[in-house]
Homo-oligomer: A and B are copies of this chain.
């Protein structure tokens, strides 16, 4: 693995490295950790990399790695830069035959998204997008239950993603994570809806298998002077008739990272919350509520295959994130070995989820500005 971005002080780069390292299947061999070559060098040294493989730019990295013998060069590129810097390295990596793992959202514009999708199709290379929350075992259990009809036909979906860390204008205080996320030249047309709204959209569609067909959005910027949205409330219609609510916020004072979802079918309701990720609540219509737990009892294979330790030993965010890396690595290794990975591991978000997310961003912002009640997606 070669990394683009994620130098000293970055948050998500370190997360990607831990997630990639956890299972001992992936080795970080090189990186261009910053657009500042000196910072890149220092960051690479922190990570004990071979100094020759610490690069000053993603371009240099891709070019030089390509010249290495096949069994020495990096197998794939992990892109962990801010949104506006996803597309260029992803494009160049794909064009030069490298597989890609990319942070979300996919890129900066819908046009870039479609170009990437096309490129992935043409090259046949693997492309994983780190919508990490779908990596939790209980999310996979929920998806399997829905697919198997356990909760009946879905009628209503409520998905929420409240955070409070942008309640004040912290982007003016030198807080890097806040700076770029509230800067339209780095984040794109959306703030909260792009940063976390897409996670909510992805989670809802992943678990239910239903696609949002139209939406009605109320998008707000509460903090004076902020340039992008920091809160959004959205009514949803899904293909097939289910209805829903999605709301995401970064000004919900006191909230940490409370992504959660409730799904109501004709037989039962499901409830999952990212902050207590090892419990899946099943509210049956005609028997006591059940608490399904990671690693406990008989679960669907998709849940079991993504669990590392026995029940009662909490698995968290990094393990879920690592599930994406592990599945990507398993599929990549199988491909390199000319084999086919077990179907249970063909389960990581791809460029298509990325395109879907970009479309959601485009439409939800459009709906927020529209006077029409419904905007189709």
Question: Is A338 interfacial (CB-CB < 8 Å)?
Answer: no
Report the Cα distance A268→B255, complex, angstroms: 9
CA distance A269 to B372 in the complex (A): 32
Q: Mark A240-255, 1 if CB is under 8 A from B, else 0.
A: 0001110101011111
Distance between Cα atoms of A285 and B253 in the complex (Å): 5
Known: A222-B155, A249-B264. A277 touches B243 (CB 8 A): no
The CA-CA distance from A84 to B225 in the complex, in Å, is: 51
Q: What per-residue 1/0 map shows which CB atoms of A249-287 lie under 8 Å from chain B? A: 101111111100010111111000011111000111111
Residues of B within 8 A of A216 (CB): 216, 218, 235, 373
B14, B243, B277, B283: the one contacting A255 at CB < 8 Å is: B283
Stretch in contact with the other chain, from A15-23, A66-74, A202-210, A348-356: A15-23
A168 touches B285 (CB 8 A): yes
Partner of A310, one of B243, B244, B257: B257
**Contact (Cβ within 8 A) B269 A253:** yes
Whether, in the assembled complex, A213 has its beta carbon less than 8 Å from a beta carbon of chain B, the answer is no
Q: Mark A337-377, 1 if CB is under 8 A from B, else 0.
A: 00000000000000000000000000000000011110000
**A164 and B291: CB pair below 8 A?**
no
**Chain B residues in 8 Å Cβ range of A286:** 297
| A125 proximal to B (CB < 8 A) | no
Could you say which of A34-42, A94-102, A107-115, A311-319 contacts chain B? A311-319
Task: Determine whether A28 belongs to the interface, using a CB cutoff of 8 Å to chain B.
Answer: yes
User: Contact between A235 and B218 (Cβ–Cβ < 8 Å)?
Assistant: yes
Q: Is A9 an interface residue (CB 8 A)?
A: no
Complex Cα distance, B164 from A310, in Å, reads 12
Give the shortest distance, in Å, between A97 (CB) and chain B (any CB). 24
A290 interfacial by beta-carbon distance below 8 Å: yes
Decide if A305 is an interface residue (CB 8 Å cutoff): no
5 extra A-B contacts, CB within 8 A, seeds A156-B222, A287-B297: A255-B283, A274-B312, A274-B314, A308-B318, A314-B314
